[in-house]
Amino acid sequence: MSTMSAGPDPVVAESLDLGHEAGRMWWLWLVTGILWLVASVVILQFDSVSVTTVGVIIGCVFLASAVQQFILAALAEHLRWLWILFGVLFAICGIVCLLQPEKTFAGLADMLGFLFLVVGVWWTIGALLNTGQPLWWLGLISGIAMCVLAFWTGGQFFIQKAYTLLVFAGIWALMHGILDIIRAFQVRRLRDAR
């Protein structure tokens, strides 16, 4: 007759501790989600006269997203390079926006389709990597919708792109904020699961 250990499996115990520690940081996703929602409201209040302000806000939005990706890379056990890659891409986009905010609006309007495509692909990959999570399909739908918007925006004339930039930058920030708030409460469950 073999003897079996009555204690918990060390790998499972370590995994639960890691989940609990990550769950203690749930408020970071909540704060960033709320900031994204505030950014969406601010962006959607502007008209075509506030080009400089929109350039600065969009630059800050991209930089905030880059910081978020780097934090996720620090917490990730697998595919860390992917989080870092998208963090670098978002940081580059943010820096470009902040260097010349007056010219950012026109340049961003011209490359809006590409930026939407990058974000849509990232959201789709993130959703597919988290298929075991509740509401993972919400990220998938958002990613696919953003990819569709990318191709639609790419075919517009400049003046239409300018107005599209104002509207969809606000919608993009809104979608990102909602997803971050949902993630906050999913991560909080890790803390409470112990």
With 50 as the cut, is the pLDDT of residue 22 above it?
A: yes
Average pLDDT (67-82) is 89
- Residue 32: closest CA among 187, 184, 194, 145: 184
> Over the stretch 38-60, which tens digit does the pLDDT of each residue have?
878 877 776 555 667 778 877 88
For the record, the structure tokens of 25 come out as: 């940081």
Query: Alpha carbon 152 to chain centroid distance?
Result: 21
Whether the predicted model's global pTM rises above the 0.85 cut: no
Average pLDDT, the chain: 80
Is the distance from CB of 80 to CB of 118 less than 8 angstroms?
A: no
CA torsion angle for 99, 162, 177, 182 (degrees, to 10)? -130
Q: Where are the domains of the chain?
A: 13-192
CA–CA separation, 19 vs 36, rounded Å? 25
With 60 as the cut, is the pLDDT of residue 7 above it?
A: no
- The pLDDT confidence band at residue 2, using thresholds 50, 70 and 90, is very low
Start-to-end CA distance of the chain, whole Å, equals 33
The 10 Å Cβ neighbour count of residue 54 is 25
